[in-house]
C-alpha cells in the first residue's frame, strides 16, 4: 500500500472520529439515564437512586472529559486536513457546526461544572435542572452532527456559485427527512449504549454478590430500557436503510453484496465479496427477501454494483461486513433484553448465573454496533465526501505533505493510546470499587441541609 | 452581517484568551508548585470552569469556519503542525483534570501532562499569532510556506511571551481564588511576570510598526487609536499599586484590561486584514445566506444565553476554593 497524504488523512480522520464517537454515544445515553435517576430520587427520596446516581456520575465525568478533548480535534481537522472541503462547503457546514457549539457545548460545559463540583452550592431542584441541561446539551450536539453528516450524505438546499456551496434553503437542510431517521437512529443507539453498560455493571455486581440493592436497580432499569428501545431502534434502522436505498443506490448495493440487477432480488446473508471478479464467494442467499427489504414488494427489481462505473463504487467489503456485524449485535441485544426482562419478574434472572454472565459480557455490543454502523455509512459514501458532488480525493488540503500527515497521525495515535488506556483503566477501577455508601441522611434532610453531602463525601 | 460576525469572532477570541488564558496560566505555574497541597489548591481553582473556557476556542474555530471559511481553510492548513501540538497539549491537560485524582502511583504523569500540556498549547498559540503578525507567505489565496514556514525567531519570541502573559493571568486568578501560601507565592510572581510580558509586548508592537509601513501609517493617521495602549498603561499602573497593597480582586481585572487593550491594539493595526496583508474580512466572508442563518438564531438569541451560562457558572463557583469544595 502506498502511503499518500490522502490515505494518511483518511486514516487519521477515521481513527480520531471512531475514538471520539465512543464517548459521546456513551455520555448521551448516560446523561439521559442520570436525569431519570435524579428525577426518581427527587420524587421518591429513595437513597439507592442517589447512590447509583453518584456512582454513575463519576464514570460520566471520565467519559465526558475524554469526549470533550477528542471533540476539539474535530473542530480543527476539517481545516487542517480537508481545507478544500472546508473552503467549498464552509458556508453550509460551518454554520451547522457553529450552531452545535453555540447551542450544545455551552450548555454542557457550564452545567457539567455544576454537576461535578457544585452539588453543595445549588438547591436539589437546580441540581436536577443542571443534570437535564447536560443531557439536553449532548442531545442537541448529536442533532447538529447528524444534520451536518446527513447533508454530506444527501446534499440538499444549496446552489453552487463562485465555486462554493451557497445555502439557499436552510429549512430543507435542517428538516431533511434523512436527518429525521438518522438522528433518532443515533440517539436510540446512544440510549442502548447507556442501558447495556448499566445493566452489564449490575450483572457484574450480582455475579460477585456485591451491592445488591444498587445492582438490582442497574440491572432491571438497564434491561427494561433496552427492551423498550431495541425494537424501536430496529424500526429506525430499517428506515435508514430505506433512505440509503432511495438516495444512495450504489451504497445499498455494496451493503447487500449485490453485483448484478436482480428481479426479484435475493438477500445475501453471508458471503465473501470479491471486487476484482465482481462476484461473491461462499454465498448464503435467501431468495426474494432482498426485494422485500429494499422495496417492500415480492417482485421489485433491485440494482447491482455493476450498474455503476468502477470509479463511483465504494469499497464493498467494509460496508458489507460492518453492516452485518451491526445487525448481528442489534439482534443479540434484542434477544438479551427481552429474555432478561421477562426473567427479571420474580427475580429469576438474578438466580440464573448463565444469563447474568451473558448480560455482563454484552457491554461491548452497543459500541461495536455504533462503530460498524458508522463504518457502513461513511465508507459506503466513498469515493465521495459530499455525496455525488465532491470526491474525497478533491477534498484534501492541496498543500498537505505526506510528512506532515504522517507526523500528525503518529502523534494522535500516541496521545489517544495514552488517554484511552488510562481512561479505560480509571473507569474499570471506578466500576470495580462500586457505589459507595455516600448518603447517610435521608433525602428530605439532604434538601434542607445541602452541606450534609459534602460532609459525607471523602 | 459581516461586521456582526467579525465582532463575535473578536469577542470569542478575546474571551478565550482571557478565560482559558488564566487556566492555562495556572497550568504553567502548576509545574513550579511545591507540594501536593499547593497543586491541589491550584487545580481546584480552575477545575469547575476550564471546560467552559476552552469552549470559547471551539466557538472561535467554528465561527471562523461558518462566517469566514477562506480564512479557516487557509490558516488551519498553514499551521498544520503548530495546531497539532496545541491540540495534543490541550488534550493532555484536559484529561489531567479527571485523571490526576484517580491515579495512584502514576500521578506524576498527569502532573507533567497538565503543566506540560498547558505550556505547549500556550506556546503554540503565541507562535501562531506571531507568525501571523510577521506575515505568512500566501499567493493566490493558498499558503506556500511549506511545513515549517511559520517558524521564525519572532514567532518563537511571541510563543514565549504568551506563556509569560498567561502565567501572569494565572497568578492573578490564584490571588483571587486561593489563600495562604499559594496566594502569597502568586503575589510574589506578579511583578516579575508582568514586567517580562510587558517587555515582550512592546517588542512585538515596535516590530509590527517597523516592519509594516501600512500599520505605522494607520497609527500616524489616526492618533486617537492610542487610547488602547493608553488604557493598557493605566491598567498596568493600577496593577502595580494593587499588588503592592495586596488587593485580591484588582490585579486580575487590571491584567484583563491590559490583555484587552493589547488585543484591541493589534486588531486595529491590521484591520481590515484577517490574514495580514493578503486576505481581508470582506474577501473572507461567507455568502449572505450563511451569515444571516447564523445571525437570526445563534447570534441574536443563543449568544446572549451563552454569556448567561458563563455568568451562572462563575456565579455558582464565586469565592475562594478549598473551604467548601466538594471533590469527589
Name the helix (H) or strand (E) containing A267.
strand A267-274
Distance CA B183, CA B171 (A): 8
Kindly determine whether residue A109 and residue B147, on different chains, have CB atoms separated by under 8 Å: no
Q: Does the beta carbon of B112 lie under 8 angstroms from any beta carbon of chain A?
A: no
In three-state secondary structure terms, A273 is strand
Q: Does the beta carbon of A266 lie under 8 angstroms from any beta carbon of chain B?
A: no
Segment A441-453 mean pLDDT = 35
Enumerate the residues of chain B whose CB falls inside 8 A of the CB of residue A408: 80-81, 84
Burial (CB count within 10 angstroms: exposed 0-12, middle 13-18, buried 19+), residue A308: middle
Whether the predicted pLDDT of B327 surpasses 70: no
pLDDT in tens, A308-333: 898 889 999 899 999 999 999 999 99
Among A80, A167, A429, select the one facing B293 at the smallest CB separation: A167
Kindly determine whether residue B95 and residue A69, on different chains, have CB atoms separated by under 8 Å: yes
Burial A131-141 (b: 16+ CB within 10 A, else e): bbbbbbbbbbb
Burial A48-85 (b: 16+ CB within 10 A, else e): bbbbbbbbbbbbbbbbbbbbbbbbbbbbbbbbbbbbbb
Indicate the average pLDDT of chain B: 85
Under a CB-based contact definition with an 8 Å cutoff, are residues A196 and A222 in contact? yes
Distance CA B227, CA A23 (A): 48
Place of cell 498553514: B78
Whether the predicted pLDDT of A281 surpasses 90: no
- Residue A184 or B328, more confident: A184
**What's the confidence (pLDDT) of residue B322?**
56
* Helix then strand then coil, % of chain B, to nearest 5: 80, 5, 20
pLDDT in tens, B65-116: 988 988 888 888 889 999 999 999 999 998 888 888 888 787 888 889 999 9
Enumerate the residues of chain A whose CB falls inside 8 A of the CB of residue B124: none
* E strand segments, B100-248: 138-139, 142-143
Kindly determine whether residue A94 and residue B67, on different chains, have CB atoms separated by under 8 Å: yes
Triad B82, B84, B90: Cα angle to 5°: 100
Whether the predicted pLDDT of A434 surpasses 50: yes
Q: Which of residues 250-289 of B touch A (CB under 8 A)?
A: 286-287, 289
Helical H runs in A278-352? 289-295, 317-344, 348-351
CA B197, chain centre distance (Å): 13
Enumerate the residues of chain B whose CB falls inside 8 A of the CB of residue A130: none
Distance CA A252, CA A246 (A): 9
In three-state secondary structure terms, A389 is coil
Pick from A272-281, A445-454, B50-59, B130-139: least confident? A445-454
Whether the predicted pLDDT of B54 surpasses 90: no
Q: Is the peptide bond before A337 cis (omega within 30 degrees of 0)?
A: no
Pick from A65-74, A148-157, B137-146: least confident? B137-146
CA dist list (Å): B125 to B28, B120, B258:
14, 9, 18
Place of cell 496566594: B183
- Residue A380 or A437, more confident: A380
Among B47, B76, B328, select the one facing A76 at the smallest CB separation: B76
Whether the predicted pLDDT of A155 surpasses 50: yes
In this prediction, residue B292 has a pLDDT band, given cuts at 50, 70 and 90, of confident
Indicate the average pLDDT of chain A: 86
Kindly determine whether residue B95 and residue A65, on different chains, have CB atoms separated by under 8 Å: yes
Triad B126, B128, B130: Cα angle to 5°: 70
Segment A394-413 mean pLDDT = 90
Kindly determine whether residue A91 and residue B327, on different chains, have CB atoms separated by under 8 Å: no
Kindly determine whether residue A94 and residue B66, on different chains, have CB atoms separated by under 8 Å: yes
**What's the confidence (pLDDT) of residue A1?**
60
Whether the predicted pLDDT of A150 surpasses 50: yes
Segment B129-144 mean pLDDT = 81
Q: Which of residues 41-100 of B touch A (CB under 8 A)?
A: 47-49, 51-52, 54-55, 57-59, 61-67, 69-70, 72-81, 83-85, 87-88, 90-92, 94-95, 97-99
For an interface test with B, which of A93, A97, A102 has the most B Cβ atoms less than 10 Å from its Cβ? A102
Q: Does the beta carbon of B303 lie under 8 angstroms from any beta carbon of chain A?
A: yes
Distance CA A235, CA A337 (A): 16
Cell of B190: 506578579
In this prediction, residue A456 has a pLDDT band, given cuts at 50, 70 and 90, of very low
How is B28-39 classified by DSSP, letter by letter? Answer: HHHTT--SHHHH
**What's the confidence (pLDDT) of residue A439?**
46
CA dist list (Å): A142 to A255, B53, B65:
25, 21, 19
How far does chain A reach from its first CA to its final CA, in angstroms? 55
For the whole model, what pTM was predicted?
A: 0.88
Pick from A192-206, B111-125, B232-246: least confident? B232-246
For an interface test with A, which of B15, B58, B64, B81 has the most A Cβ atoms less than 10 Å from its Cβ? B58
Kindly determine whether residue A87 and residue B91, on different chains, have CB atoms separated by under 8 Å: no
Kindly determine whether residue B72 and residue A79, on different chains, have CB atoms separated by under 8 Å: yes
Which one, of B95, B33, B9, lies nearest residue B298 by Cα?
B9
| Segments making up each domain of chain B, as ranges | 2-316
In this prediction, residue B186 has a pLDDT band, given cuts at 50, 70 and 90, of confident
Q: Does the beta carbon of A69 lie under 8 angstroms from any beta carbon of chain B?
A: yes
Under a CB-based contact definition with an 8 Å cutoff, are residues A85 and A386 in contact? yes
Kindly determine whether residue B73 and residue A403, on different chains, have CB atoms separated by under 8 Å: no
Under a CB-based contact definition with an 8 Å cutoff, are residues A383 and A393 in contact? yes
Q: Which of residues 379-408 of A touch B (CB under 8 A)?
A: 397-401, 403-404, 407-408
User: ipTM value of the model?
Assistant: 0.86
pLDDT in tens, B191-245: 888 889 888 888 887 887 777 777 777 778 877 778 888 888 888 888 888 888 8
Distance CA B258, CA B303 (A): 25
Whether the predicted pLDDT of B326 surpasses 50: no
Report the residue count for chain B: 328
Classify domain B2-316 at the CATH class level.
mainly alpha
Beta-carbon count within 10 A of A449 CB:
12
How many Cα atoms occupy the beta-carbon half-sphere of A120 within 13 Å? 15
In this prediction, residue A440 has a pLDDT band, given cuts at 50, 70 and 90, of very low
Kindly determine whether residue A94 and residue B65, on different chains, have CB atoms separated by under 8 Å: yes
Beta-carbon count within 10 A of A249 CB:
17
**What's the confidence (pLDDT) of residue B98?**
81
Amino acid at each position: 500500500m502506498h502511503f499518500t497524504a490522502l490515505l494518511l488523512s483518511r486514516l487519521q480522520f477515521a481513527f480520531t472520529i471512531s475514538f471520539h464517537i465512543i464517548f459521546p454515544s456513551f455520555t448521551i445515553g448516560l446523561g439521559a439515564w442520570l436525569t431519570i435517576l435524579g428525577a426518581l430520587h427527587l420524587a421518591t427520596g429513595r437513597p439507592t437512586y442517589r447512590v447509583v446516581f453518584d456512582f454513575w456520575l463519576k464514570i460520566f465525568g471520565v467519559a465526558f472529559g475524554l469526549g470533550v478533548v477528542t471533540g476539539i480535534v474535530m473542530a480543527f481537522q476539517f481545516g487542517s486536513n480537508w481545507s478544500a472541503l472546508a473552503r467549498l462547503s464552509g458556508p453550509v457546514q460551518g454554520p451547522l457546526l457553529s450552531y452545535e457549539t453555540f447551542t450544545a457545548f455551552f450548555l454542557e460545559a457550564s452545567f457539567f461544572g455544576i454537576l461535578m463540583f457544585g452539588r453543595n452550592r445549588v438547591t436539589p431542584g437546580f441540581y436536577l435542572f443542571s443534570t437535564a441541561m447536560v443531557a439536553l446539551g449532548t442531545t442537541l450536539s448529536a442533532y447538529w452532527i447528524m444534520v451536518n453528516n446527513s447533508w454530506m450524505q444527501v446534499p440538499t438546499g444549496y446552489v453552487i456559485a463562485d465555486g462554493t456551496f451557497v445555502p439557499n434553503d436552510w429549512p430543507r437542510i435542517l428538516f431533511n427527512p434523512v436527518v429525521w431517521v438518522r438522528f433518532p437512529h443515533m440517539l436510540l443507539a446512544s440510549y442502548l449504549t447507556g442501558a447495556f453498560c448499566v445493566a452489564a455493571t449490575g450483572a457484574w455486581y450480582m455475579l460477585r454478590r456485591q451491592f445488591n440493592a444498587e445492582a438490582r436497580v442497574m440491572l432491571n432499569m438497564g434491561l427494561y430500557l433496552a427492551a423498550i428501545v431495541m425494537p424501536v431502534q430496529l424500526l429506525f434502522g430499517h428506515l435508514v436503510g430505506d433512505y440509503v436505498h432511495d438516495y444512495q443506490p450504489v451504497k445499498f448495493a455494496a451493503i447487500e453484496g449485490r453485483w448484478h440487477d436482480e428481479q426479484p432480488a435475493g438477500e445475501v446473508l453471508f458471503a465473501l465479496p470479491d471486487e476484482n471478479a465482481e462476484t461473491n464467494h461462499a454465498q448464503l442467499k435467501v431468495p426474494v427477501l432482498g426485494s422485500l427489504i429494499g422495496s417492500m414488494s415480492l417482485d421489485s427489481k433491485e440494482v447491482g454494483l455493476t450498474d455503476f462505473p468502477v470509479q463511483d463504487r465504494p469499497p464493498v467489503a467494509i460496508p458489507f461486513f460492518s453492516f452485518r456485524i451491526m445487525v448481528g449485535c442489534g439482534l443479540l441485544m434484542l434477544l438479551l433484553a427481552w429474555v432478561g426482562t421477562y426473567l427479571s419478574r420474580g427475580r429469576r434472572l438474578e438466580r440464573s448465573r448463565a444469563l447474568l454472565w451473558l448480560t455482563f459480557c454484552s457491554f461491548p455490543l452497543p459500541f461495536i454496533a455504533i462503530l460498524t454502523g458508522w463504518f457502513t455509512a461513511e465508507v459506503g459514501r466513498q469515493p465521495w465526501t459530499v455525496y455525488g458532488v465532491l470526491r474525497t480525493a478533491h477534498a484534501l488540503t492541496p498543500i498537505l505533505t505526506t510528512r506532515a500527515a504522517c507526523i500528525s497521525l503518529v502523534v494522535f495515535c500516541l496521545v489517544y493510546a495514552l488517554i484511552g488506556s488510562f481512561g479505560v483503566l480509571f473507569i474499570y477501577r471506578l466500576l470495580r470499587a462500586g457505589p459507595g455508601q455516600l448518603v447517610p441522611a435521608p433525602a428530605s434532610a439532604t434538601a434542607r441541609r445541602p452541606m450534609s453531602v459534602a460532609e459525607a463525601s471523602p | 452581517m459581516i461586521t456582526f460576525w467579525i465582532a463575535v469572532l473578536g469577542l470569542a477570541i478575546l474571551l478565550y484568551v482571557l478565560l482559558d488564558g488564566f487556566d492555562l496560566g495556572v497550568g504553567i505555574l502548576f509545574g513550579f508548585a511545591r507540594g501536593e497541597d499547593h497543586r491541589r489548591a491550584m487545580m481546584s481553582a480552575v477545575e469547575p470552569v476550564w471546560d467552559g473556557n476552552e469552549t470559547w476556542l471551539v466557538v472561535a474555530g467554528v465561527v471562523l469556519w461558518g462566517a469566514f471559511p477562506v480564512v479557516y481553510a487557509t490558516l488551519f492548513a498553514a499551521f498544520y503542525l503548530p495546531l497539532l501540538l496545541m491540540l495534543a497539549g490541550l488534550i493532555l491537560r484536559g484529561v489531567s483534570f479527571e485523571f490526576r485524582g484517580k491515579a495512584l502511583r502514576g500521578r506524576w504523569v498527569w502532573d507533567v501532562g497538565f503543566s506540560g500540556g498547558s505550556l505547549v498549547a500556550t506556546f503554540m498559540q503565541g507562535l501562531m499569532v506571531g507568525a501571523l503578525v510577521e506575515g505568512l507567505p500566501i499567493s493566490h489565496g493558498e499558503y506556500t510556506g511549506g511545513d515549517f514556514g511559520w517558524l521564525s525567531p519572532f514567532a518563537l519570541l511571541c510563543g514565549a511571551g504568551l506563556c509569560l502573559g498567561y502565567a501572569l493571568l494565572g497568578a492573578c486568578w490564584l490571588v483571587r481564588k486561593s489563600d495562604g501560601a499559594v496566594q502569597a507565592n502568586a503575589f510574589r510572581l506578579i511583578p516579575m511576570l508582568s514586567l517580562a510580558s510587558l517587555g515582550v509586548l512592546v517588542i512585538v508592537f515596535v516590530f509590527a510598526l517597523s516592519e509594516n509601513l501600512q500599520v505605522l501609517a494607520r497609527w500616524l493617521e489616526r492618533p486617537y487609536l492610542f487610547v488602547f495602549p493608553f488604557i493598557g498603561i493605566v491598567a498596568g499602573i493600577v496593577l502595580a499599586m494593587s499588588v503592592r497593597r495586596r488587593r485580591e480582586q484588582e490585579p486580575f481585572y487590571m491584567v484583563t484590561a491590559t490583555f484587552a487593550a493589547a488585543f484591541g491594539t493589534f486588531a486595529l493595526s491590521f484591520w481590515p486584514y484577517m490574514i495580514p496583508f493578503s486576505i481581508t474580512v470582506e474577501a473572507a466572508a461567507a455568502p449572505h445566506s450563511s451569515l444571516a442563518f447564523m445571525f437570526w438564531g445563534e447570534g441574536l438569541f443563543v449568544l446572549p444565553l451563552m454569556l448567561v451560562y458563563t455568568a451562572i457558572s462563575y456565579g455558582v463557583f464565586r469565592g475562594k476554593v478549598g473551604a467548601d469544595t466538594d471533590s469527589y
